[in-house]
Amino acid sequence: MAKKSVATLQSAAGREWAKVIKAVKSPKTGAYSFKEEMVPVGKVQDAFKK
């Protein structure tokens, strides 16, 4: 059987961050692309307001 790999973000420091993925529309082509960033959990709502 294959062994499962354990994610390193399960530590106490990893739970303080969240990955935010936003869809951003290109002004030239109109196509959507995705912007990813890691933000502190308390600042997630602020990341979407930008």
Q: Which is more confident, 5 or 50?
A: 50
**Cα→Cα distances 21→7, 24, 34, Å:** 19, 10, 6
Q: In what helix (H) or strand (E) does residue 22 lie, and over which residues does it extend?
A: strand 17-25
pLDDT score at 40: 93
Using alpha carbons only, give the angle 11, 50, 19 rounded to the nearest 5 degrees: 20
pLDDT score at 13: 64
pLDDT score at 37: 93
Q: Which is more confident, 37 or 50?
A: 37
pLDDT in tens, 9-48: 555 666 789 999 999 999 999 999 999 999 999 999 998 8
pTM of the model: 0.58
Query: What is the spatial distance between Cα 25 and Cα 23, in angstroms, rounded to a whole number?
Result: 7
Query: What is the spatial distance between Cα 21 and Cα 37, in angstroms, rounded to a whole number?
Result: 7
